A and B are shown apart, each in its own frame.
Chain A
Amino acid sequence: MSELKSNIPEGPLADKWTKHKNDINLVNPANKRNIDVIVVGTGLAGGSAAATLAELGYNVKTFCYQDSPRRAHSIAAQGGINAAKNYQGDGDSNYRLFYDTVKGGDYRSREANVYRLAEVSSNIIDQCVAQGVPFAREYGGLLDNRSFGGVLVSRTFYAKGQTGQQLLLGAYSAMNRQINRGKIQPFNRHEMLDLVLVDGKARGIIARDLVTGEIERHSAHAVVLASGGYGNVFFLSTNAMGSNVMAAWRAHRRGAYFANPCYTQIHPTCIPVSGDHQSKLTLMSESLRNDGRIWVPKKKEDAEAIRAGKLKPTELKEEDRDYYLERRYPAFGNLVPRDVASRAAKERCDAGFGVNKTGEAVYLDFKSAIIRYGKEEALIHGNHNPTDQEVYDYGKKVVENKYGNLFQMYEKIVDEDPYKTPMMIYPAVHYTMGGLWVDYNLQTTIPGCYAAGEANFSDHGANRLGASALMQGLADGYFVLPYTIGDYLSKDIRTGKIPTDSPEFDQAEKDVRDRMTKLMSGKGTHSVDYYHKRLGKIMWNKCGMSRNAKELQEAMDEIAELRKDFWENVKVPGTIDSKNAELEKAGRVADFLELGELFAKDALTRNESCGGHFREEYQTPEGEALRDDENFSFVSAWEYNANPREAKLHKEQLTFENIEVKTRSYK
């Protein structure tokens, strides 16, 4: 096993980024015009990177599988974006944001990267406001904040429950400005099918025009992968239907190491599964935990009566309810981090206290928030003796103003009014902390191939805090990558255009064509979805919220077998040279079938519990995650092998010089 070089700059933590920016090489504006950069993915990380790179003068080509960059799945992020602005004067600082993020990630992230993230966070808000992002404001005209899980300050900026949408439209508008200037060439409805290496460097991609089916070659001096996470390996997740690991996995196959695949975030507040037809899961923002209280009945017989439809949750007296998060974690209460909240929900449901038909749901109740706000509003409106109905009406209005779109979404899906009866929620796969291994410069182990946003692994350790994904995507894209990539590209100013008629491009295109032909030639017994759903079941049951050695081993075997079956039997209708949604899905599922096995292997290798990775063998007597810092304080970076169980492990040792490594406690 070899050691990986993370290229963290020397010097004190708080000075590293500034010093690094001063030390690295720049490319002069005239030379930037001769340099091409490909950006795959146009979400927050890719969109912001593309806009900034184009603005600096590079020629940028963007690729996304959607019909417009504006539809990337960052758009679905609801709750908010963190920044250490300390506008509330509640003691926030760069260090505190850094500290919360490292602790939240259960001490499995890279210190220097996280500090940089905290350092640039404030600037993101300035930038977005300048771009016209309509964040929520207070009556005085200044920006409003709210709290998210795992922190004791209010540092989250938001735009109702649609923060991701507004930030993405901001990045999209910055892209549009560059498209209008001709500096970005957008390739929408295109999918990257392979990375092309020339002399060991990333020099282009093979892409498929998803409308015509045409296979295209695109060259560049560097390739940025900002293609998001791989949560859809579970089939059911809060990801978009098209979210996939293909770009990252193709790079992995070509030599980029894949880090910590088993670190997956199961989000505690999602709408429970309603049946076998389910195609995706819907998140209810963590911001709801600011005001909603999570509970299950105290007595099993009440839970059973509720499940049988004989008892309504609103009929249950206060003393018969178990607000289990407030009980177990008095300091953080309903705002414990996501991994902790999810496991606690699973624990209650497994113990027989679940509240929907399947027994896999808990309540998220807004009644006390509505009353609290209602009383406050009544006073503000000079009503000192309000009736219960008036309090409710006032309070409802406040809650509606804060979370209106989420409540509406819930009502449409579940057909129940969450203002009147508590919401039912259950954990679901949401975000993947693992991803392509990158150094401090966000470069993968392939020179010239960079990874940004959810596609890389570096900032969130084993668990991501709420409202930090948007922060990281935009930090990488607007403020980190455009600097660090310049250092690499400064060596390419004399290279000239990269030709696409080289043997390397020929070979990569041939590989892509062969693979598609093979996908189309399955003997045809089952659809792509059949395999995807089966993979998802294995992942959820054996690599989900809690894992053990026996089941992980079984998962590896079952996935290997399923993969074999898939390649022999998958049925893909239609043709290669036309719009073909089934073919697109087949290519993505083929990669998930490799990733899934590596995921299980990674989880099996990590003999400890940390963050979202909970191994049943390693827990405290109270059922909390038990880390093993002596033996597992490292990043697992896997080198590709066609047989994922044979993948080679490389370790990056994590050192913590600026933060005391402690047992994570939210009690």
Chain B
Amino acid sequence: MKLTLKIWRQENAKAKGAMKTYQIDGIDGDMSFLEMLDVLNEDLINKGEVPVEFDHDCREGICGSCSLQINGEPHGPDRLVTTCQLHMRKFNDGDTITIEPFRATAFPVITDLIVDRTAFDRIQQAGGYISVNTSGNTVDANAIPIEKQNADDSFYAATCIGCGACVAACKNASAMLFTSAKVSQFALLPQGEVEATERVQNMVRQMDLEGFGNCTNTGACEIECPKGISLENIARMNREYLSAVSKG
């Protein structure tokens, strides 16, 4: 198929960016969206132009590197997939596709379609862990039985890949879904309970410091999340937070 691409080009963090239009031909429905961009870049290199920079790595939907706001939606029109697993069969011959970086104050653009998501790392560093040494000198793994439902819910929260689609989807650029997924993973496990009071407060404090907005329950994050992380996690984090604050 033949496509028109409108792509955000920006030389570096300080430069002023702009949309640029490209024509591309010979795109096959079985290609992934990123393979389509590979074709564009190969073209650009052959023409002596600078290729489009975008983050990507595993290309199987799990590393969370790829991002891209495609036609206004994080990871494009398909549901429950990252951009690397979005296939061109979802588009039609002659389509115009707009490709922008994820937009949020806390995710400044580095170049072209690449944004800086280290704010997410700093939220995790503020408390996204259980303070246990890695010496291996701990109790047997089966010493504490965990109810299957809780273990499963904890797992579902932990499947967050940290891509930032939730932030890009939110009109407030809120990171509540991301932060609450980590808080929930630990809140649902007995191992995580010990530090629950501190953890939620520290992570929320860092989240606010990074300049993410607040949650107004529009639910856009849940719809756009490639891993289907549920809004329930935000509710759980709010409960955890309130109970932590009231404990003082």
Contacts and interface: CB of A to CB of B under 8 A. Distances in A.
Interface in B123-166: 124-136, 138-142, 144-148, 151-152, 154-155, 158-159, 161-162
Contacts of B141: 85, 125-126, 128-129, 135, 143
A134 B189 contact: yes
Identify which of B58, B140, B161, B192 gathers the most chain A CB atoms within 10 Å of its CB: B58
A172 B155 contact: no
A131 B130 contact: yes
A140 B162 contact: no
Nearest to B81: A412
Interface stretch (B94-102, B109-117, B208-216, B236-244): B109-117
11 contacts: A70-B64, A70-B121, A127-B136, A137-B146, A142-B142, A169-B158, A176-B124, A211-B110, A241-B57, A277-B31, A478-B134
B57 A66 contact: yes
A91 interface: no
A618 B155 CA distance: 47
A120 interface: yes
Interface stretch (A31-39, A158-166, A504-512, A588-596): A158-166
A120 B131 CA distance: 21
Given A277-B31, A409-B85, A76 B60 contact: yes
Contacts of B46: 527
B62 A76 contact: yes
Nearest to B29: A415
Given A130-B132, A131-B130, A131-B191, A579 B12 contact: yes
A240 B63 contact: yes
B120 interface: yes
A409 B226 CA distance: 12
Interface size class of A (residues with CB under 8 A): 35 or more
Interface stretch (B16-24, B48-56, B169-177): B48-56
Given A135-B151, A412-B87, A573-B50, A240 B59 contact: yes
Given A140-B145, A415-B89, A582-B51, A173 B134 contact: no
A162 B62 contact: yes
Interface string A558-590: 000000000000010110001101100000000
Given A132-B192, A277-B28, A282-B60, A162 B159 contact: yes
Nearest to A164: B62
Nearest to B110: A211
A275 interface: yes
Given A126-B138, A573-B50, 15 more contacts: A70-B121, A128-B141, A130-B132, A132-B130, A136-B151, A138-B148, A173-B124, A176-B121, A180-B125, A240-B59, A275-B31, A282-B59, A413-B32, A413-B87, A527-B45
Interface in A139-153: 139-143
Contact of B159 (A165, A174, A579): A165
The 4 closest A-B pairs by CB, nearest first: A141-B145, A173-B129, A123-B136, A134-B155
A160 B28 contact: no
Interface in A255-292: 274-275, 277-280, 282-283
A152 B80 CA distance: 36
Contacts of B142: 87, 142-143
A226 to B, nearest CB: 15
B61 interface: yes
Interface in B1-54: 11-12, 28, 30-32, 34-35, 38-39, 42, 44-46, 48-51, 53
A52 B134 CA distance: 6
B136 A241 contact: no
A241 B142 CA distance: 38
Identify which of B81, B129, B144, B161 gathers the most chain A CB atoms within 10 Å of its CB: B129
Contacts of B45: 527, 571, 573, 582
Nearest to B47: A573
B20 to A, nearest CB: 16
Interface string A55-85: 1000000000011111111011000000001
A280 B124 contact: no
A166 B159 CA distance: 8
A603 interface: no
Interface in A421-439: none
Interface string A154-193: 0000011010011001001110110110000010100000
Given A176-B125, A277-B31, A578-B12, A134 B60 contact: no
A283 B116 CA distance: 29
B92 interface: no
B178 interface: no
B64 A71 contact: yes
Nearest to A530: B42
B136 A120 contact: yes
Contacts of B78: 412
A156 to B, nearest CB: 14
